[in-house]
Structure 1
Amino acid sequence: MPEPGDGIAALRTELAALHRMLVDSGLVVWTAGNVSARAGDDAFLIKPSGVPYEHLTPDSMVLCDLEGKPADGEQLKPSSDVFAHAYVYRHRPDVGGVVHTHSTYATAWAARGEPVPCVLTAMADEFGGEIPVGPFALIGGDEIGRGIVETLDGHRSPAVLMRNHGVFTIGADARAAVKAAVMCEDVARTVHLSRQLGEPQPMDAADIDRLYDRYQNAYGQ
């Protein structure tokens, strides 16, 4: 595992700030939800289990190996989702951050077992298509992680709605995964509202491809 001096302190600080961003964005309540960040090739940091967000500090973040086992000297237990995160990191070397929320609108889609259809340009930009639904899986082992990896295989979406559970997002780093979680809730809400008014208008697949390419490769500075 990385030594404390190898940038872990800065990563702990960033992770504590990203957890506050979940609260500020209205994606979590009480102690539910978590963010993790890859820490080198063989470890990651994750939120501790059952600690209220207002009590989280950089030192609260738990350093674990890629099997989900806490490093020697860690004082707090990692999130109950630690094995799901660990599975993702083991099987997706491109992933540097994982987020889990029970955000209201996106989780409502998960409860229905229904993907969020790509009917918005903002969805095409960020997700490159629909937000898919993963299988039902119980918390506590790596079954959730397996469902995340298998569902997102072949998808451009960085978000998956785990059936009857909630949202998991991935990113090149933890901040990107948090952004995907924020965007997932935003578009889930908008598409839900649009369906109250009628049937949302589908988008042409070629237009979705063009929007995704522009946003991913040309947008911004």
Structure 2
Amino acid sequence: MTDEIQRTREVVARLHAELPRWGLVVWTAGNVSQRVAGTDLFVIKPSGVTYDELTPEAMVVCDLDGDLVDGTRAPSSDTAAHAYVYRHMPEVGGVVHTHSTYATAWAARAEPVPCVLTMMADEFGGDIPIGPFALIGDDSIGRGIVETLRGSRSPAVLMRNHGPFTIGRDAKAAVKAAVMVEEVARTVHISRQLGEPLPIPAEQIDSLYARYQNVYGQTAQSQGDEARANEEEHA
């Protein structure tokens, strides 16, 4: 267990560097967490620490109630939200929160980002939804995340008047979703300055999502196997 905790600390520390690199955070805002495999623990950043201080040793370990298990600093103020997601969505292995500018602007308007880009269909499988308003300090934000994303294909939710939270099978996937949600929020905003963006039909969203999630990035052998399986299914 000690080795796995240390490995997770290293992963989470490294991924925190991606948030300022992609312009998703300012000062000490934002956080990344990841489950510790094979345990009921997760690793998250400490509260109020600048990004250049976030070494593996600075990361803190919490249980699924959000209580500190190991670390020298208090956990992030969003720890209760992360813990609630892990308790209620066992398939989730990583959670990310940012205040990235464009995604947060949509959250301030309580307006979902409409699926008008193939990139959105690929990554989010439809619109990026709005979650309810909730105060920081308890698991209210976590409840809103789970209520909004349970049963949704989107790995991102824009919590009203707050900002984006993203989930993934691990922290890297959640960070990718955080990068993507800001990119599409910005692009759709710019598109709306030019006129009304054109929605993608639902059946095309489904097709794009299935291709990206199941075929994109596979080896040629894997793609061939899947194509043959589809032919047999529809024979």
1:138 aligns with 2:135: yes
Q: Number of residues paired by the alignment?
A: 217
Task: Name the residue aligned to 1:94.
Answer: 91
Task: Give the TM-score normalised by structure 2.
Answer: 0.91
Counterpart pick for 2:53 among 52, 55, 61: 55
Aligned equivalent of 1:13: 10
Q: In structure 2, what is the equivalent of residue 45 of structure 1?
A: 43
Of all paired residues, the percent bearing the same amino acid is 71
Q: Which residue matches 2:158?
A: 161
Is the 2:40–2:63 Cα contact (8 Å) retained in structure 1? yes
The residue identity in structure 1 corresponding to 2:56 is P
**AA aligned opposite 1:173:** D
* Matches of 1:56 and 1:48, distance apart in 2: 8
Q: Secondary structure at the match of 1:138?
A: coil
Partner in structure 2 of residue 189 of structure 1: 186
TM-score by length of 1: 0.97
Structure 1 or 2: larger helix share?
2
Match of 1:31 in 2: 28
Question: Equivalent residue of 1:48, what SS?
Answer: coil
Moved over 6 A (4+): none
Q: Deviations over 1:17-63 (max 9, x none)?
A: 10000110000000000000001330100010000001110011110
**What are the ranges of 5 or more consecutive residues in structure 2 without an aligned counterpart?**
219-235
C-alpha contact (below 8 Å) 2:120/2:126 kept by paired residues: yes
- Deviations along 1:45-98, one digit per CA (max 9) or x if unpaired, are 001000000111001111000000011x42111000000000000000000000
How far the C-alpha of 1:9 sits from its partner, in A, is: 1.2
Residue identity opposite 1:45 in structure 2: V
In the alignment, structure 1 segments of 5+ residues that lack a partner are: none
Q: CA deviation at 1:14?
A: 1.2
State the secondary structure of the residue aligned to 1:36.
Answer: strand
**C-alpha displacement at 1:10, in angstroms?**
1.5
Q: CA RMSD in A?
A: 0.7
Q: Distance in 2 between matches of 1:22 and 1:101?
A: 8
